[in-house]
Amino acid sequence: MSKTLYSLLPALLFPLFLSAQDTLLLSSPLEVYSSPLSITAPRLNFLGDGTALFTWGLSGSPRQILCSRFENDTFSTPVSVVQGSLPPDLFGFGGFDVAVNGNQVFVVYERLSLGIMLARSDDGGLSFSPPVVVQSPVSGGYATLASLVLDGTGNPVVSYIVEKNGAVFQVRRSSDGGQTFGDPVIANSAAPGGQVCECCLADFVASGDSIWMIYRNNNQNLRDIWVARSTDLAATFDVATDVDATDWMLSFCPVAGPRITRAGNTLITAWMSGASGQERVYLSTLTADKMETGIQLEFPPEVQQNKQSFADLAASGDTTLMVFLEGTKEIVLHYSTNGPAELPMHQIRLTESDHTLQLPSIAVYDGMIHLVYVDPVSDKIQYRTGIITQLSATNELYDVGRLTVVPNPTTGVATLQGIHEPVTSVQILNINGSLIRSESLERQHENGDVWVDMSGFCSGIYLIKVVTEGGLYTTKLFKM
């Protein structure tokens, strides 16, 4: 069962009921950034203290990669990642990748005249050092489409396509925190054909000495998805598994790279294939230790002719999330609290009238869902947070249309707006309806607004009841 969420509703938290037990509460969008300079696909990472770090590109003029931190309910002034006068080469689907370790931020990107470059921040994205060269320009060819992961020692591992008489994926690892990089290793050598799709990004996950890289292979135009594994910190990639049973034959690159995440011993992959005659998003799994394939799932669209693309994944324990673009302006988010097999059972669809939602990226951190995407119509990056909870149908009785919370979500003090009478009491309840705090009167402004201090509360969803001389106001508040 699915329901459509219209984002033009008031800035509150909306319950999306998919079953009696599985419910996703999602906040209204917050504007991360606005610019007419062609925003590329945003990335979302978390610093060691839990601060959300947003990174995106501007492919207009001047081209640049920017990052911003979300702290104290506000987005910091964007910082330029690329130092110097030569801008990065960017594409609508990205052109850069980001990895974070504590307060260190690594950003890999490309510049045709310079090669593959890596920028580094040691202060959580507040400033970036001049970039170092990962791969110099290729004589008679080129290096492009870099991806990045941090290995078990916290050192960056970078993959990129080298196109010279055929395309291959090369991988270089740094052993000194990104100051220098070792010799390249061919990562796709264990798959048949010896070549990869020439314009599809790869993706990584890493744990300890092991690194798994997912990519689109090209075996005489059989362009299916493979996962290669290294167990020696990217010194070799000697095992590879085909995780794509669709066997898409195509004479050109579809510009659709796969994604991968890990939950315990399960590797979860998402990718697009047009083997059926329609471009569809699929999910498949394999074991991390034995590289044995598991399930393969598809997600039929609401409108048969609509394409699906730009899938992303996140997982934590048994919670699995997958998001993708359907058609040209609708984002579909599937979720499960019982592993990837149940993803098709639960979905929400995000649309806005007269707007276009694209390039979604999803993360899960500290029990919360984090979703970021681009609205090209309004030239904005939007950010939403959510939580999966067990909520009975009685919660639908709360009237969420009379009270506005700003900001929502909040990390501290929130303002309750839309109150037109003197307040007699404010009650804060947990998601199960148990009373946590009741005050005879929170601070009230002369215009009726009420301030509620949530700084001492744990992260999660809270129910707010405001009792006034004229009646009862209720809403839901998201504490980050």
- Could you tell me which of 157, 225, 158 has the C-alpha nearest to residue 197? 225
Tokens of 328: 């040209």
**Which one, of 468, 464, 474, 388, lies nearest residue 430 by Cα?**
464
| CA–CA distance, 375 with 360 (Å, rounded to integer) | 10
105: alpha, beta or left? (left if phi > 0; alpha if psi -120 to 50) = beta
Which amino acid, residue 335?
Answer: Y
Q: Quick check: 322 and 313 in contact, CB under 8 A? A: yes
Percent helix, percent strand, percent coil in the chain, to nearest 5: 0, 55, 45
Distances (CA, A) of 461 to 429, 464, 471: 9, 10, 23
Distances (CA, A) of 303 to 17, 270, 306, 438: 22, 21, 6, 48
* Residues 157, 211 contacting (CB under 8 angstroms): yes
User: How confident is the model at residue 406, as a pLDDT?
Assistant: 87
Alpha carbon of 289 to those of 128, 203, 229, 230: distances in Å? 37, 18, 10, 11
Give the CB-side neighbour count of residue 160, counting CA atoms within 13 A.
32
Q: Residue 52: what pLDDT?
A: 95
> 80 in helix, strand or coil?
strand
Q: Give the residue among 361, 365, 274, 289 at the shortest CA–CA distance from 325.
A: 361
Q: The tokens of 463 are what? A: 């129910």
Encoding tokens for residue 86?
Answer: 């030569």
CA pair distance 445, 215, nearest whole angstrom: 56
Token couple for 316: 């934590």
Would you list the DSSP string of 360-419?
Answer: EEEEEETTEEEEEEEETTTTEEEEEEEEEE---GGGGGS--SS-EEESSSBSSEEEEE--
Answer for the pair 375, 32: CB distance below 8 angstroms, yes or no: no
Which value, in Å, is the radius of gyration of the alpha carbons in the chain? Answer: 23
- What structural domains does the chain harbor? 2-389 (2.120.10.10), 400-479 (2.60.40.1930)
pLDDT at residue 480, rounded to an integer: 81
What per-residue confidence (pLDDT) applies to 443? 63
In which order are the strands placed within the sheet that holds 225-230?
203-207, 210-216, 225-230, 239-242
CA 323 to chain centre: 8
What is the C-alpha separation between 143 and 252, in angstroms, rounded?
Answer: 19
Averages of pLDDT over runs of 10 residues in the chain (480 residues) are: 29 40 76 91 95 94 94 92 91 92 98 94 98 96 96 98 95 98 98 96 97 98 98 98 98 96 98 97 98 97 94 96 96 95 94 91 91 95 83 34 77 85 81 72 71 86 78 79
pLDDT at 94: 81
